[in-house]
A and B are shown apart, each in its own frame.
Chain A
């Protein structure tokens, strides 16, 4: 081994605290990127593979009923590659452990063996023969602990039928299960089942006919044109207008969720990596600068600049490689854990996590580059000085009284305080670098924990401010408003507010969106229209009030006319003005006064359902009564929806938050430790001189730690501001149709961020204090490194 390399190893051993901290920061930066980006790539790859394997359709169409002969002709339509007709029916479900309230569900005919939208049985088997064997969707099965052998009762066309579950399946159509009219996935209140087609047809009088069509497009075919052809063919059978994947609820949610994850999983980790890189840069450049005399000595003896640079590159390489390897291992381990969690959330047959090499390369590359630049900057400074000059100890800085002293404000300061102030002021670059490093530590903490605030704000907004009902009841078909009186009489009901929901295609210019327009009573109290500032908006009879996000998607502004194609037989087309937009947080709603809605639909007092407020003590009685009302197709509970929200979105986001927060704590502590340690290394000589001159250990610690305290005090407010900035950047892309994450940073987050850095500073101070106590005065004065 070359002597220079031996020096390298010994230096590494001597500088281990700083180098370990730098390696840890590197590991965090690399780890979080490797985890998040690899996971995103894995999820996207899984989605693509599963869509291809299962032949996920391009077009979807619901209709009332059409004979199979019509279905067979569909395959000949231009643009259609494969087509499959199905029977899909909404049902009410009961099973022994089910709650008293009716659970709604969907019964779908099993796909043909080489058909579209193929299922994947993850447990049990496919139903055999005709009759009473069904498959259940994995989400619902998990939510209620159902499995092969369990029995489920369903009300089919008014009569009760019992089925035996023989298998649990996933379908690309239900990666997410979103009940109709609900903004979030909900595996608890809504279940999907598959039954053989002949039994399903027999139960619903659908022999030799179908009510649902799915199709794939031939290569190059235009989706809209083909959808129009399907509509033309099936319109007279009650076809509800064919739609593409973009309007398929699971796909739409999945795409938005992936986008959401990408924003969170891309921007935040990138900020982490950048911060880690900046920190490495700062620490390493100071570390190399501190070796000024050694560099000069080597240079004096004829070592070329390149050899010296290579020597330090090796030292840094050691740190970067160790940190990157650790980061990759950490990222892989965490990615695996996160993927396991997502596997319970995204209902794919399997979700494999794999390390994506480009991601690993980019993350390690950024870390390496930052380190290399840090070293290069410091070496350029040292090598740029002639060796003779570099070998002299740096000329004493020209110290003057500090600014605060000059202003006369602090004339009576003790010497130690003056030393602190002067030192900070006379080495502005080092002071700034230290403050910058520490503030970055605070800032990443804010960024790491912000997601929790966002979820909490979102949850409170949706489930306390917007949704105020205890039960939402949906009828099979619209009923007369007089039926509400019956709901009023149910046990425990304290308020009833009707709604009328109408599925429609909204068009403006060349934009179109499929939405359910919700007709609400004036001054609604149980489902309110609220904007992010907490202002309430009333639905209007003379025009549409829409979510600002929907207006954006339609490219429309208040005053514009919106064309509405109602998705019911005859497909009436109407035009309504857009009268107001509401800057809300969840979904893409469109609202109308219920009177206006009835006029629009040429109905008299028709309602689709109602929101109920009830006495909590009588919930069970209410649910039992609701279950006995034949007109009620489904009833959902705000509490269950809130639980679903907590179990799904909140859980994934919060898990991500925890990981981010842990990384940010590690980074913050790393920064504090390296900054303080480096200050000690740079000032050891001065401090030893002070000790020789008769200063006590306490005095000397006061100087160094006092300096650190000033730096931390300056860095914390700056870091909080910077953290808010990071949050703004990271949430730029959080604006999707599903929800808009509000930039609300809670005081708790700011406090924890500040306290963590403070605690790290105190812990480091104790450690530094110990080093100061064992300062070898003679050695420090003799050795000049």
Chain B
């Protein structure tokens, strides 16, 4: 296994809006190790989501290199990025983005069906503690349960990369902890490099490394000597 899962150099993302040019990312340099759990902190508009989108192949940078292992994602076209997402990336979003027409199990299966080596969808649901809710539709699940389905959906493909954008943002603290436990457990189980965005500084304690962003740059970085268990987190 190579020492670096990701290697970003000079990654810049500019948007043009009515108000002028916005630098969402401004020359970001970053290395991520395989299996590493990283938490991204920072105020709104600091570039966290943009960085996550670039890592996940949802967006491409305006300038710079984004090496995933030895492959530069920055030069990929949409087809290649789609293949990259399909084969390597799991996403968890703040608002779950489950397909309302599908049951919990089917929401997981829809990803399993296009992944090269997925785990059984039932197993993924069991990993997040929802084996008994497999046949329920999103509308029949609580917010926390929906988010856990989203986590199961993200890891069913055994992704090399797990990207979570404010996964607890819409949840209360107790439910949030349950979801974080699920994330930590499955990330370890599949050995995924995990990047988790949050506004909640407490959550940083469960990471290997904590990065803080501001104005499109990484302005602070610290390494936790030990990772705290999600169940120990309080906010």
Contacts and interface: CB of A to CB of B under 8 A. Distances in A.
A2 B53 CA distance: 28
A3 B91 contact: no
B110 A3 contact: yes
B74 to A, nearest CB: 14
A7 B102 contact: yes
A487 to B, nearest CB: 84
Contacts of A785: 99-100
Contact of B87 (A7, A294, A302): A302
B138 interface: yes
A388 interface: yes
A4 B113 contact: yes
B79 A304 contact: yes
Contacts of B3: none
Interface in B74-110: 78-79, 82-87, 89, 91, 93, 95, 97, 99-102, 106, 109-110
A401 B56 CA distance: 40
Most buried by B among A10, A296, A387: A387
26 contacts: A4-B113, A6-B101, A6-B106, A7-B99, A10-B102, A293-B97, A300-B56, A300-B58, A300-B85, A300-B91, A301-B91, A301-B114, A301-B153, A302-B82, A302-B84, A302-B85, A302-B86, A302-B87, A304-B86, A388-B49, A388-B53, A391-B93, A779-B139, A783-B138, A783-B139, A784-B95
A784 B113 CA distance: 24
B101 A303 contact: no
A575 interface: no
A14 interface: yes
Nearest to A7: B101
A305 interface: yes
Nearest to A11: B101
Given A6-B102, A391-B93, A391-B97, A301 B143 contact: no
Given A297-B97, A784-B95, A302 B114 contact: yes
Nearest to B107: A3
Contacts of B82: 299, 302-305
Nearest to A785: B100
B155 to A, nearest CB: 12
Nearest to B103: A6
Most buried by B among A10, A293, A296: A10
A784 B97 contact: yes
Contacts, number: 79
A3 B153 CA distance: 13
Interface string B109-134: 11101110000000000000000000
Contacts of A7: 99, 101-102, 106, 110
B110 to A, nearest CB: 4
Can you list the 9 inter-chain pairs with the closest CB atoms, starting with the nearest? A302-B86, A10-B101, A388-B58, A302-B85, A3-B110, A388-B53, A297-B97, A3-B109, A7-B101
A386 interface: yes
A782 interface: yes
A419 B21 CA distance: 32
Nearest to A398: B18
B22 to A, nearest CB: 14
Contacts of B97: 293, 296-297, 300, 391, 784
A297 B106 CA distance: 14
B102 A783 contact: no
A297 B58 contact: no
B59 interface: yes
Contacts of B56: 300
Interface residues of A, number: 30
Most buried by A among B49, B56, B82: B82
Nearest to A776: B139
Interface residues of B, number: 33
Interface of A: 2-4, 6-7, 10-11, 14, 293-294, 296-305, 307, 386-388, 391, 779, 782-785
Q: Identify whether the interface residues of A are mostly helix, strand, loop, or mixed.
A: helix
Most buried by B among A302, A303, A305, A783: A302
Contacts of A297: 97, 99
Nearest to B52: A388
B163 to A, nearest CB: 10
Nearest to A12: B101
Given A782-B143, A783-B100, A784-B97, A302 B83 contact: yes
A388 B85 CA distance: 12
A387 B58 CA distance: 6
A386 B57 CA distance: 10
Given A7-B110, A300-B58, A388-B53, 15 more contacts: A2-B113, A3-B106, A3-B109, A10-B101, A293-B97, A294-B99, A296-B97, A300-B91, A302-B115, A304-B82, A304-B86, A779-B139, A782-B143, A783-B100, A783-B138
Contacts of B95: 784
Contacts of A307: 114
Contacts of B99: 7, 294, 297-298, 785
A75 B53 CA distance: 92
A315 to B, nearest CB: 11
A212 to B, nearest CB: 77
Contacts of A388: 49, 53, 58-59
A11 B85 CA distance: 25
Nearest to B105: A3
Contacts of B79: 304
Contacts of A304: 79, 82, 86
Contacts of A784: 95, 97
Contacts of A305: 78, 82
Nearest to B112: A3
Contacts of A301: 85-86, 91, 110-111, 114, 153
B225 to A, nearest CB: 34
Most buried by A among B56, B87, B99: B99
Contact of A3 (B100, B102, B143): B102
A320 to B, nearest CB: 21
A779 B78 CA distance: 34
Most buried by A among B78, B93, B97, B153: B97
Most buried by A among B56, B93, B101: B101
A290 to B, nearest CB: 12
Contacts of B53: 386, 388
Interface in B12-45: none
Contacts of B153: 301
Contacts of B93: 391
A363 to B, nearest CB: 31
A394 to B, nearest CB: 14
A314 to B, nearest CB: 14
Contacts of A293: 97
A3 B58 CA distance: 23
Contacts of A14: 101
A302 B112 CA distance: 11
B208 to A, nearest CB: 25
Contacts of A10: 101-102
A2 B113 CA distance: 8
B59 to A, nearest CB: 5
Contacts of B86: 301-304
A191 to B, nearest CB: 69
Most buried by A among B53, B83, B115: B53
B72 to A, nearest CB: 18
A298 B100 CA distance: 13
A3 B114 CA distance: 10
Contacts of A299: 82
A296 B138 CA distance: 18
A43 to B, nearest CB: 48
